[in-house]
Structure 1
Amino acid sequence: MAKVPRVKLGSQGLEVSAQGLGCMGMSAFYGTPKPEPDMINLIHHAINAGVTFLDTSDVYGPKTNEMLLGKALKGGMREKVELATKFGIKYDGAWEVNGDPAYVRAACEASLQRLGVDCIDLYYQHRIDTRVPIEITMGELKKLVEEGKIKYVGLSEASASTIRRAHVVHPITAVQLEWSLWSRDVEQEIIPTCRELGIGIVAYSPLGRGFFSSGSKMIEKLEDNDFRKNLPRLQPENLEHNKILYERVNELAKKKGCTTSQLALAWVHHQGNDVVPIPGTTKIENLEQNIGALSVKLPPEEMAELESIASADSVKGARYGPDLTTYVDSETPPLSSWKA
């Protein structure tokens, strides 16, 4: 298998594999956590294949996914990877987002310990705290960079204006957001802002949370405790409509001699060298299929065809249910309002 190429992520000096590995589903949200030895084996397989950009968060598990990565990176593996984790989402009976400086520091220290490392390569604010000015949160992250606890700073699901304000305090290396053939709203304002500021783009759920792997059939395979069962786009009233998108992408994939998921992933890869998708998987064969998407070439006319299939009205249903506090495209209060 061809080696996965390396790319510069953002303009601050971070270099990563052109495709990353989202590790969330190994431990959380997508049904029963998978056996630890199998997941460590999968992570090692990814690293040996050149997928070295690993993505986790303290809320995955919670905490258990970071601990899994800590075990997987023992014995010389740490030096081979670019490790990204996140802080900011807490679950204490209800979802809460926290960007308070004392919490930022405590979360970072705890993540370092669970991961068994002395420095995190890329540390994201997982969601934006709408009560704390972004400048205050970023001020603490800047201190953590100066202390050598983190190398680079990222934001996830932040609005364009929040990204701009944060970038003034300390350069943002990457913004993580949902981007795929069925989530394209970020193209209007957030992607252009990142490009203007030299910020890398990390696309999570590039396969539409598995929808582009098996279409509407995926619902039948989901366990009862899989949070995707509650996503509006996968509810019966929307799924009938959304199935058409999958079928049309599937037809194109057949013509190209690749799988539907490879075509969907190749579309994200073709958005530019500043975009790194991080598909998640728990199976080695799916990992290899995802790496294969790097070899799928899409000339402009095929990109245009895919984009006409996946236009704004081709998907029914919101990205999340109303019960989930996502703070997508969210603002923080002005700095002048802050009373420490």
Structure 2
Amino acid sequence: MGTRLLGDTGPEVSSLGLGAMGMSGAYGEADRDESIATVHAALEAGVTLIDTGDFYAMGHNELLLAEALRGRNRDSYRLSVKFGMLAGPGRGPSGPDGRPEAVKNFLGYSLTRLGTDHIDIYRPGRLDPAVPIEETVGAIKDMVDAGYVRHIGLSEVDAATIRRAHAVHPIADLQIEYSLISRAVEAEVLPTLRELGIGLTAYGVLGRGLISGHWTAGHTAGPGDSRAAGPRFAPGNVEHNLALVDALREVAATKGCTVAQLAIAWVAARGEDIVPLVGARTRERLAEALPALEVELSADDLAEIEKAVPAGSARGDRYPAAYMPGLGVGN
């Protein structure tokens, strides 16, 4: 497993990170024992970056990771934690809370649930439109100064917000969706990150499974699977999007790899300042993802991939309409 630096000021992490959200029911029921075994397998393979959120199943994900990481050398992994999405019993997210007093409150709960004395990268899950980003980042800076946080990150914000946040305290990385079918970051956000020396951790590199090669026409999301409300999985859109996957599969065949491996390799090839996160929740899916780092893509390969899945070719927004206004960029 190689390593990459998250920006000019961020930590050195594995070239591939593990996103743990799916282990807490986001895509339907997950097997607790298998989830923990997957975390262990990732660590043993050299994965050091583990991403979670305090709002993933109302703290369930943090508690799960605490169990999986118990007894491990704390310096052998890096925890990336998102915070601030409000919710309640029987309902989904109701909006972000980026108030300084809330930031410190959220952090206290996360430290306790995770069983650790510090968070490596702490970031608001979404921008709170009612609170200037300077105040939110300023509160995290206080926690950096106090030793509870090592680095500050952002998630799903636009270029202007990145600049404002970075002026308060150096930002290590931006976490944002980036894949063959979600490329809006390329216009303004990615150039801004590179100008400022900020890394990018890319989630959704397999389009929530849509371009993994495992989603098929006629497949329906099961109980509790958030993809049931995903516009790209909706009838009329999903058939079009799966046709893109079929075209991508032909390119993968010439490279001797799977569609998933090709999609991950494409993101990794966009720059050494980008770390793809894979949301594997089973050892089988993790084992498929890991060899993606060995797939070398030539200029001709990249051209063939671009031909198979041109920028902007996916149908449907990447989130349901109610959530789109809270994103820094669109599709």
Give the structure-2-normalised TM-score. 0.95
Once the two structures are superposed, residues 74-114 of structure 1 have per-residue CA deviations (whole angstroms, 9 ceiling, x without a partner) of 11343310111111211134521111111000000100000
Alignment of 1:1-340 (within 5 A): 4-32=1-29, 34-92=30-88, 93=91, 94-214=93-213, 216-217=215-216, 220=219, 222-324=221-323, 327-329=326-328
Going from structure 1 to structure 2, the CA distance change for 1:81 and 1:216 (only over 3 Å counts) comes to closer
Deviates more, 1:79-88 or 1:154-163: 79-88
The count of aligned residue pairs is 326
For residues 14-71 of structure 1, what are the alpha-carbon distances to aligned partners after superposition, in whole Å with 9 as ceiling and x for unaligned?
A: 1100000000000131101x23222211111110100111000001111000001111
> Following the alignment from structure 2 to structure 1, what is the Cα–Cα distance between the partners of residues 116 and 317?
38
Q: Partner letter of residue 99 of structure 2?
A: D
Q: Letter of the aligned partner of 2:265 in structure 1?
A: A
| One-letter amino acid of the counterpart of residue 14, structure 2 | S
Could you tell me which amino acid in structure 1 is paired with residue 94 of structure 2? Answer: W
In structure 1, C-alpha distance between the alignment counterparts of 2:325 and 2:82, rounded to whole Å: 14
CA RMSD across the alignment: 1.5
Q: Shift in Å at residue 194 of structure 1?
A: 0.4
- Long gaps (5+) in structure 1: 331-340
Stretch of structure 1 that moved more, 306-315 or 151-160: 306-315
- Residues 50 and 221 (structure 1 numbering): CA distance in 2 closer, same or farther, change over 3 Å? farther
Residue 218 to residue 173, structure 1, CA distance change in 2 (3 Å): farther
* Counterpart AA for 1:76: R
Return 5+ residue gaps in structure 2 as ranges.
Answer: none
* Distance in 1 separating the partners of 2:218 and 2:155: 27
Q: CA deviation at 1:325?
A: 6.0
Instruction: Please say which of residues 183-192 and 311-320 is displaced more in the overlay.
Output: 311-320
Deviates more, 1:216-225 or 1:317-326: 216-225
Residue type at the aligned position of 2:264: L
Match of 1:333 in 2: none
**Contact in 1 for aligned 2:251/2:304 (Cα 8 Å):** no
Paired with 2:324 and 2:149, the residues of 1 have a C-alpha distance of 27
Question: Counterparts of 1:118 and 1:208 in 2: how far apart (Å)?
Answer: 33
Opposite residue 30 of structure 1, the aligned amino acid is Y
Query: What percentage of aligned pairs have identical amino acids?
Result: 43
Contact 1:29/1:227 (<8 A) preserved: yes
1:210 and 1:218 in contact (8 A); partners too? no
- Deviation of residue 305 (structure 1)? 2.0
Whole-angstrom CA distance in 2 between matches of 1:77 and 1:87:
24
The Cα shift of 1:242 comes to 1.1
Whether the 8 Å contact between 1:90 and 1:98 is mirrored in structure 2 is: yes
Q: TM-score when scaled to structure 1?
A: 0.93
Match of 1:336 in 2: none
- Which range moved further: 301-310 or 222-231? 301-310
Residue identity opposite 2:49 in structure 1: F
Deviation at 1:115, TM superposition (A): 0.3
Deviation at 1:223, TM superposition (A): 1.1
